[in-house]
Structure 1
Amino acid sequence: MNSQSYLKGFAAYLKLERSLAQNSINAYINDVEKLFQYFEANNKDITLNTIKLKDLREFLIWLNDLGAEASTQARVISGIKSFFMYLLQEEIIVNNPSSLLETPKIARKLPDTLSVHEIDLLIGSIDASKPDGMRNKAMMEVLYGCGLRVSELTDLKISDIFEESEFIKVVGKGNKERIVPIGATALKLIKIYMEEVRVHATIKRGNEDYIFLNRFGAKLSRIAIFNLIKSLAVAAGIKKSISPHTLRHSFATHLIEGGADLRAIQEMLGHASITTTEIYTHLDRDYLKTVITEFHPRA
């Protein structure tokens, strides 16, 4: 089976028709490659049109025996289902063997969050007197204040900021645009960074519109943000294992605990499904108790 030619076509389909980011495309391709690796490892003489549901179920057993967690198996199944949908759409196969493939149930893990005090400690640990200090303060305020994904922060452009109306335009997953409010503190720090720091940078060609730049005048990488937050947590004495997404979780959780509407938070986070927002915005027991006490007629 010439798997590479099919994978190449699948990658093009994901990019052009599904508008997925390159990281997501790579993940899908890797998941489908696991299936081909299974066939090869078990000497299965098989073609795309002869793959049966039982073959896919045996593959999942193989994955499980290798120690793959339920969440990993679910992701792999999602990639395989998309692959067979592509093959069916392109009329490469006649029947879809993955249509009845069941996804393992996954326990919904509540994400780690920081308290408002911990957020203050994190941002307060930044030394604004250092060359990159004001940039870092502005980035953390935007990341937490707007609930952005790390890639949305690194891709944020000067032309995306509407200072007078206090909104920013964010390009999220699948190149979907959304409008998110931005607070006065974040806007003030961005302005200081732009006027006192960034103005002196030698900007690399093609990066003129990106707000946050590295010392080489190019837009920051995702890994740079991850490393920054890890170092800030250490400096602030925060023992939790945190990442840029922790600030996004915290943004949503603090809004919910303050009484914000879940649908509004869904819009600001850029979630296609409200169930995704519910996972990100877990509610603590005290808040749930308050809701029952205040609003239930039998409380």
Structure 2
Amino acid sequence: MGYVRTRLRKDGSPRYTAYFWDVRGRERSAGTFATRKEAVRAWRRAEAGAGEGRFADLRSGRQPFARYVSLVWLANHRMEANTRQGYISVIEKYLLPEFGAIRMIEILPSHVRDFLRRLTDAGKSAMMVQRCKTVLSSIFTTALNDQVIALHPCRGVAVPPVVAKPLTIVSPAEFEAIVEALPDEQSRLLAETALEGGLRWGELTELRLGDLDPVTRMLTVARTVVELRPGYHPSGARFLVKGYPKSREFRRIKLSSTLVARIRAYAAERGLGSDDLLFTAPQSRRPTERRLLELPDPAGATAPNAAGRRYRHGTLSGYSMGRCRCSWCRAAYARYRAVRRAAGKDQPRAGRRLDTDGHIPRDWFRQRIWDPAVQAAGIGRRVRVRDLRHAHASWLLAGGADLQTVRERLGHAGLRATERYLHTLPDADDTALTAFHRTRAGIRILRDVGTSATVK
């Protein structure tokens, strides 16, 4: 049974605070009102809601959004380390500037709707707008379940649709050209394994020699590795190995005898043990040797600098004082630095060490190994390492493999994710077009036969 307590303001006017007891026997406040009648209604509603498990703790709901997220939600919400890193990035960049100072119970669907609309008007992609809503909805779902709030502000709020772009699959000829352009045996073997196994990058770079059974040719995908910023790693490192793949269940993939033989020869040449990484990053990076350009004598002068002065092209003054970055001025400065290094006057930069424990950094491989090979292969579009996984699925389905087999090899949770690879090759619809024209031709034949019979 609840009750009402009268409070007096400084000017002597009364205010009425409603109190009730929750299911645990704790005294709770249902709010303060201008009249006793409103207060009585409030504690009766709160008492009924507490009995049904629908009571929201008003004291918790009065805390600012920033305090709840940092001290309650992030501190107690369980999620993967890489997911936490991505969520915190969205929270700090978008959510805290917008909702940080607002009380939890004061955030309404209209506020969320207006926030997402302004993100769209600012040119943010539909994917980013949806991601902001996803993080925000996760926060408010926890707050609603913990009875911090009584209303879910994200419920019923729509976001711009994320349009799925059609997949452009790497053809066998394009893949062969890329492999030929890769600089060493490790990168070529890595690409072959990624294509034939349909592996994700984290699964591919965490493969160890013991994961492959050379007799049965079965490759067990049992782990994955993710790259993190040091603040999000339990020990401050960069790479975090998880003892399960993304699907959270092991899967086994059979490889061809040719690929298995290449892997075994590669491992024997490097002396790899069963626990050693199959693909590793180099321990150091050599400084880039710039080729000095042989250019004709320059003509003319640089554009005026801030002081209005102009300098001749191809001189140190043109590069340093004129701030000119044309080919002649850059070549002059490069020759000057090369001469000084040859004379021992400047210390050349030593090779930098990669921040790695042996795992291959994704960006380093893309920028230094993969993208140059794609460009050298003459492919006129962007091709990612991840596209080899798409090619694996598409080639299997085009060759007659059933959806369930492809799903199991890729580690998809359901067939819907696998179905997107149907009819992705350029010639995948040839069979459908042939059937269409065959049917159309048959209708024409029947029509012509019917016309001839009518004439007779």
Specify which structure has the higher proportion of helix.
Answer: 1
| TM-score between the two structures when normalised by the length of structure 2 | 0.55
1:213 aligns with 2:276: no
Structure 2, unaligned stretches of length 5 or more?
1-63, 224-244, 284-356, 441-456
Q: Which residue of 1 aligns with 2:89?
A: 30
Residue 103 of structure 1, CA deviation: 3.6
Distance 1:274 1:103 in 2: 26
1:155 aligns with 2:180: no
Q: Deviations over 1:28-72 (max 9, x none)?
A: 2223331222236xxxx5222321111111110111111012222
8 A Cα contact 1:150 1:225, kept in partner: no
Q: Which residue of 1 aligns with 2:36?
A: none
1:101 aligns with 2:161: no
| Structure with the greater alpha carbon radius of gyration | 2
Quick one: which of 37, 43, 66 aligns to 1:3? 66
Q: Which residue of 1 aligns with 2:6?
A: none
Distance 2:71 2:198 in 1: 34
Q: Which residue of 1 aligns with 2:416?
A: 275
8 A Cα contact 1:137 1:189, kept in partner: no
Q: Structure 1 pair 244/211, CA: closer, same or farther in 2 (3 Å)?
A: same
Letter in 1 for 2:386: H
Q: Structure 1 pair 99/159, CA: closer, same or farther in 2 (3 Å)?
A: farther
- 3-state SS in 2 of match to 1:287: coil
Distance 1:47 1:178 in 2: 47
Residue 280 of structure 1, CA deviation: 4.7
Q: Which residue of 1 aligns with 2:300?
A: none
Distance 1:147 1:224 in 2: 21
Q: Which residue of 1 aligns with 2:119?
A: 63
Structure 1, unaligned stretches of length 5 or more?
128-132
Letter in 1 for 2:366: F
- The 5 Å alignment of 1:182-201 reads 182-199=255-272
1:236 aligns with 2:377: yes
Q: Structure 1 pair 273/104, CA: closer, same or farther in 2 (3 Å)?
A: farther
Distance 2:119 2:200 in 1: 30
- 3-state SS in 1 of match to 2:141: helix
Q: Deviations over 1:170-227 (max 9, x none)?
A: 233264432222222332222122111354xxx9xxx953221122371222223323
- 3-state SS in 2 of match to 1:244: coil
8 A Cα contact 1:179 1:268, kept in partner: yes
The alignment of Structure 1 onto Structure 2 pairs a total of residues equal to 280
Distance 1:8 1:192 in 2: 53
Letter in 1 for 2:95: L
Distance 1:191 1:243 in 2: 27
Specify which structure has the higher proportion of strand.
Answer: 2
Distance 1:194 1:184 in 2: 15
Q: Structure 1 pair 82/183, CA: closer, same or farther in 2 (3 Å)?
A: farther
Distance 2:375 2:135 in 1: 37
Q: Structure 1 pair 281/169, CA: closer, same or farther in 2 (3 Å)?
A: farther
Q: Which residue of 1 aligns with 2:400?
A: 259
Letter in 1 for 2:373: L
Q: Deviations over 1:63-94 (max 9, x none)?
A: 11110122221222222222222333444434
Residue 156 of structure 1, CA deviation: 1.5
- 3-state SS in 1 of match to 2:252: strand
Letter in 2 for 1:211: L
Quick one: which of 351, 364, 379 aligns to 1:224? 364
Residue 262 of structure 1, CA deviation: 2.2
Greater shift in the superposed pair: 215-224 or 57-66? 215-224
8 A Cα contact 2:397 2:421, kept in partner: no
Greater shift in the superposed pair: 149-158 or 101-110? 101-110
Q: Which residue of 1 aligns with 2:168?
A: 112
- Higher relative contact order by CA 8 Å / sep ≥ 6: 1 or 2? 1
Q: Structure 1 pair 286/79, CA: closer, same or farther in 2 (3 Å)?
A: same
Q: Which residue of 2 aligns with 1:75?
A: 131
Q: Which residue of 1 aligns with 2:446?
A: none
Q: Structure 1 pair 213/167, CA: closer, same or farther in 2 (3 Å)?
A: same
Q: Which residue of 2 aligns with 1:130?
A: none
Distance 2:210 2:145 in 1: 39
Letter in 1 for 2:250: E
User: Identity over the aligned pairs, expressed in percent?
Assistant: 26
8 A Cα contact 2:210 2:275, kept in partner: no
Letter in 1 for 2:365: I
- 3-state SS in 1 of match to 2:420: helix
Q: Structure 1 pair 168/6, CA: closer, same or farther in 2 (3 Å)?
A: same
